[in-house]
Structures are given as C-alpha cells and as structure tokens.
Amino acid sequence: MRLGPCAALVAIVLGIAACTSPPHPRTAPTPPPVSAFSPAPESPSPTSSTAQVTAWVDAATLSPLTIGAPQPVQETHGPADVFTDCNKKIAADATVVYAHHWIWVGNKVPFVDHAVFAYPGPAAQVVKQIKARANSCKSYQRNELGAGKTTVQFVAAYAFRPLAGIDGWYAFCEKDTTVPPASQKGQVANVSYFCMAAFSRGNVLATVRVSGEQPTIASARAALAPVLPLGEKALVDAVPTR
C-alpha cells in the first residue's frame, strides 16, 4: 500500500538521514523561473583562512521564514562528504575543510536537504566532479536499513540560470523505487522523486535536495524551483567578494 503524505514525509527524512552523508540530490522540459534577486558582484578569491570559510559556511543557512519552520529537524556540522550518487565518492570529499548540513520540513517548503562545504581551492571544480559522477551511471542500487532495497534512476538534468555571483552550477533529478523486504508482506514498492542542485562561490559549495508533495517528477521539479534561488542567495550573501 502507498504511504500517506505525512508518513511518506517522515520516511523521506529518516531515509535521507540514514543513507546520505551529512548531507543525498537531472533537464526539465521547461526551465524554472529565473531568480528575481538582485545581481551580486563577482566571486571571491578561492584562498581564505579556515576561520573565514567556516564562518561563511555557517552563515549560508536558509531562513526559517522562507521554509516555514521554526528550526531544522536535523542539523550537523564538521568535515563531511557531499551527497552520495552512483555509489561513488568524489575526489573533493578528501579535501573538505568544513561543512554544515540542515534538513528542513516546513509549511512553505515540504522538504529540503541543504548543505554547505568549504574547500581549499575553487568549489566550481567540485561541481564538475558532482556532474561527472551523476552522469557516470543511469541507475544504481542501495540497501536501506530495515526498509528493503532502493533502485535509483537518473531522470534528467535540470536547467536553470544561476544567480549572479555563482561561479559553478549543476542540477538533476532522480527516481527512487524502494522494494520492501520479504518480511513485510503485502506492502508494494514506494516511488519517490528528488531533484538536487550543486552550486559554488569561490571555495564554498552548497547543495540542495528536495522532494515534491506528490510522488511525481513534475512535483519534485516544482519544489526545487523556489528553493534553488534561496540557496544561491544565501551563499552569495554569506561569501564576500574578493
């Protein structure tokens, strides 16, 4: 049987917490609206102190008001890998200086997994690694602790025009099909869609991963459209120009 909206949302949040590194985000038939935020100056220098980039990362959080929630349902910080895809790490995971990860569930945005990372060099190169990895497989499987096996399929890249001040960007969407274990007789496969984006400014990277209110690709794309510019603006506002 299909999970109800609330139960499905709880399952999504618990699933993300279990199978993604703190933090887990392919072209939409029609691109989402272009951000209406004011343009920002050029990107900052990629060479900054650890204290500086740590402060920038912490400051690049989303506003509770934009999510419609008083606080995140999960928050962690410290060096971490970017979201897992194709069951592969990326080379930049070994060089993360600092990271901050938030999972939000709100009444304006149903679900968003948001993370920000600092690196010793240009984070635009990390975006390229994420893009290459996402395009390295059409599907892969992962085992969910106590919930069965999930097949993740690449759906399409997601085209968008970045906010001024963003120097690297890529977004895509995936379909997750979870088959329950044999012990859970009578339950049918659960299908979810997620859209993810990675974008950078100087030596700081941000990622957002969302799901829609309905288990459809259209709903997931619609959920990413308003969240993406919010994440970009938070990054541009937090990381100063050189």
Q: Give the closest residue to 102 by CA, choosing from 174, 17, 176, 25.
A: 17
Which helix H or strand E contains 150, and what residues bound it?
A: strand 148-157
173-182: buried (b, 16+ CB within 10 Å) or exposed (e) per residue? Answer: bbbbebbbee
Give tens-digit pLDDT for 38-59.
Answer: 333 344 444 568 888 899 999 9
Task: Give the span between the Cα atoms of 13 and 8, in whole angstroms.
Answer: 9
How large is the C-alpha radius of gyration of the chain? 17
Task: Give the span between the Cα atoms of 21 and 80, in whole angstroms.
Answer: 7
Task: Give the span between the Cα atoms of 10 and 73, in whole angstroms.
Answer: 11
Mean pLDDT of 169-196: 88
Give tens-digit pLDDT for 77-103.
Answer: 999 999 999 999 999 999 999 999 999
Per the structure, the count of domains in the chain is 1
Mean of the per-residue pLDDT values for the chain? Answer: 82
Give tens-digit pLDDT for 137-160.
Answer: 999 998 776 678 999 999 999 999
- Tokens read off for 191: 């299908």
- Tokens read off for 46: 């990629």
Q: What's the confidence (pLDDT) of residue 33?
A: 35
pTM more than 0.85: no
Could you tell me the residue range of the domain that residue 124 belongs to? 5-238
What CATH number does the domain containing 121 carry? 3.40.1000
Mean pLDDT of 167-176: 97
Task: Give the span between the Cα atoms of 177 and 240, in whole angstroms.
Answer: 41
